[in-house]
Amino acid sequence: MKKLDLYILKKFFFTFFFSVFLFAIIAIVIDASEKADDFVQSKLSFQQIITEYYFGFIPHIIALLFPLFVFIAVIFFTSKMASKSEIIAILASGINYNRWLRPYIIGGAILSLILWIANQQIIPKANVIHSNFLTKYVDRNSSYEALMNSRKRNDLYFKLDSFSYAGIISYDTLYKQGGRFFLDKFNDTKIIQNIRSEGIKWDANKNKWILTTVFIRNINGLKEQVERYDEKEMNFNFKPNDLQKDNYTTGKLTTPELKRYIKLEEMRGSETINDFKIERYKRDAGAFTVFMLTIIGAIIAGRKVRGGSGIHLAVGIAIAALYIVTDKFSTIFSTKGNFSPLIAAWLPNIFFCLVVIYLYKKAPK
């Protein structure tokens, strides 16, 4: 790696991380002012608010705007270099255009990898912290007070596999427990096993479901064997995350959990399966977006124009807005229609790859 690479990468990373740090502070201040009443009503200490909310909120908001941070950082520092004629001097010294782009490619690849790794494991775990606080103290439809006082019924009926069906009466997603539970297993059209219990709850330590007052009926033709247990541990193929049907479900699952959930929902014939597939594919597509926007930003801002950084930022914001609109349209067509989730997640990147090619060919070499 030459001095040129180190020089540009240093500017790249410093501008990017400074913008992330600055925006994180601004976001915290704005969010704290909006949720001041919720914090007071929750009666949590300052330390609890930090650990039970902002440890989830900060990674969530940074990941959400990560590609935009990269794009703005590239345009900002590259535009400054162009206004000082540094890029002209670099190209005039005999360095070709592709060689000048190399540190941008390296930096974009590194940040893409960081976002990709975070999307698989780190961000979903942060979303759990963030969404749990919102569900418990902020969201009126599923707030802590509503759960404790109204105890609205949440009856679940679902398919476990090709021959098993289950149901839970009044399942509580917050405490991971429910009322009456049943499970029926079939062989063709004949039932071969029936499980009934008065209650079901999740034991996080044992990673198992606990049934209370259990009756297990094994049926073989006209013969029937009944077993009764006061309490019984069961290894079912579903977990609490599989039973959470709220606005935060897709973001709370790590990628391995999300893949498993998608398979389970496909087996159940869920009508909302595209929501989860979109989330799955966007975790990969989002990382590539970072790389692509890095190249676009470098090409746009690398040209010295009258108006300086202002023109570059205006063009950059217009491109970012167009990308967001394209992404939203493709997502809606997939979740509300029959558009392929894979194509919907990657369509904005495919379109802007063409933009990269066009800008590259038009860029002054």
Of 243, 262, 291, the one marking the end of a domain is 243
How large is the C-alpha radius of gyration of the chain?
26
Q: Name all contacts of 104-107 with Cβ < 8 Å and 24+ positions apart.
A: 104/8, 104/12, 104/74, 104/294, 104/295, 104/298, 105/291, 105/294, 105/295, 106/5, 106/9, 107/8, 107/9, 107/12, 107/13, 107/294
- Whether residue 90 sits in one domain with residue 13: yes
Q: Domain count for the chain, please give it.
A: 2
Q: What does each of the 365 residues of the chain score in pLDDT, given as a tens digit?
A: 588 889 999 999 999 999 999 988 999 999 999 888 888 888 888 898 999 899 999 999 999 889 989 998 999 899 888 888 888 888 888 888 899 999 999 999 999 999 999 999 999 999 989 888 887 887 655 444 444 444 445 788 888 777 888 989 988 877 888 999 999 999 888 899 999 999 999 998 988 999 999 999 999 888 889 999 999 999 888 888 777 666 677 888 899 988 988 887 777 666 678 888 999 999 999 999 999 999 999 998 887 766 566 777 777 778 878 888 888 888 888 888 778 899 999 998 998 899 889 888 887 66
Q: Is residue 267 part of a domain?
A: no
Amino acid at site 10: K
- Whether residue 115 sits in one domain with residue 65: yes
Q: Are residues 129 and 56 in contact, defined by beta-carbon separation less than 8 angstroms?
A: yes
- Whether residue 164 sits in one domain with residue 109: no
- Whether residue 76 sits in one domain with residue 16: yes
- Whether residue 89 sits in one domain with residue 33: yes
Q: Is residue 158 part of a domain?
A: yes
- Whether residue 161 sits in one domain with residue 105: no
Q: Are residues 304 and 82 in contact, defined by beta-carbon separation less than 8 angstroms?
A: yes
Q: Is residue 162 part of a domain?
A: yes
What per-residue confidence (pLDDT) applies to 236? Answer: 87
**119 CB-contact burial (10 Å; exposed 0-12 / middle 13-18 / buried 19+):** buried
- Whether residue 85 sits in one domain with residue 231: no
- Whether residue 166 sits in one domain with residue 305: no
Quote the CA–CA distance of 328 and 337 in Å, as a whole number: 13
What pTM, to 2 d.p., does this model score?
0.77
Find the domain containing 92 and state its range.
3-141+272-362
Q: Is residue 249 part of a domain?
A: no
- Whether residue 109 sits in one domain with residue 22: yes
What per-residue confidence (pLDDT) applies to 145? Answer: 43
Looking at the DSSP bridge assignments, the partners of residue 229 are 214
Quote the CA–CA distance of 140 and 41 in Å, as a whole number: 13
Q: Are residues 296 and 108 in contact, defined by beta-carbon separation less than 8 angstroms?
A: no
Q: Is residue 256 part of a domain?
A: no
Structure tokens at 163: 């021959």
Alpha carbons within 13 A on the beta-carbon side of 84: 7
- Whether residue 126 sits in one domain with residue 9: yes
Q: Is residue 69 part of a domain?
A: yes
- Whether residue 129 sits in one domain with residue 39: yes
Quote the CA–CA distance of 273 and 263 in Å, as a whole number: 9
Q: Is residue 187 part of a domain?
A: yes
Q: Is residue 296 part of a domain?
A: yes
- Whether residue 166 sits in one domain with residue 134: no
